[in-house]
Amino acid sequence: MAYSINFTVNGERRLVEIEDPRVTLLDLLRNHLHLTGAKKGCDRGQCGACTVLVNGRRINSCLALGVAMDNTEVLTIEGVAGDGRLHPVQEAFIANDGLQCGFCTPGQIMSAIGLINEGQAGDDPERIRECMSGNLCRCGAYLGITQAIQEAQNSLSGTDRRSAA
């Protein structure tokens, strides 16, 4: 039996047929839609490398079933830049050296965008670190990541955060 998933991915309406209802959103994105920005790290929801936004909320895509995505809006790292420009969070990560090996960076950026859109970032570095604790970086770029989130939050403070993603 085939399962149809009709959802929006990075602003584009998609209809995907899968055979196995146990396919995760992460595998659906990577293997069926060839969107490889979300990384398969721990595959247990502990590292955050697979973070994407679903209906504007941060989720670990390795823990969500693809069939549950019917009629949702999914935003991946591939969909955050637009009009030939990087998203302000991406720019801030580069400016603040918030990346090293780059493996965790897509999930970190997606989580940061979600955090800012949720209005939880604030200016307190400790609060940002707490809210980002579900995203692990083995290289230890946490200082740059925290500074990048603060910078991006400040640059986006004059815009509607819902449209910032």
- Residue 60 has phi, psi (to 5 degrees) of -85, 110
Report the alpha-carbon distance of residue 131 to residue 142 in Å, rounded. Answer: 12
pLDDT tens track for 65-92:
999 999 999 999 999 999 899 999 999 9
Look at residue 37 and tell me if it is in a domain. Answer: yes
pLDDT attached to residue 165: 53
pLDDT attached to residue 160: 42
Residues 22 and 61 in one domain: yes
Strand-pair partners of 24 = 65
Residues 49 and 104 in one domain: no
pTM for the structure as a whole: 0.90
Place of tokens 């149809």: 4
CATH code of residue 99: 1.10.150.120
pLDDT attached to residue 162: 39
Look at residue 83 and tell me if it is in a domain. Answer: no
CATH code of residue 14: 3.10.20.30
Sites in the chain below the pLDDT cut of 70: 158-165
Residue range(s) defining the domain that contains residue 136:
88-164
Look at residue 151 and tell me if it is in a domain. Answer: yes
Report the alpha-carbon distance of residue 127 to residue 77 in Å, rounded. Answer: 24
pLDDT attached to residue 163: 44
Q: Is residue 116 a contact partner of residue 70, using CB atoms and an 8 Å limit? A: no
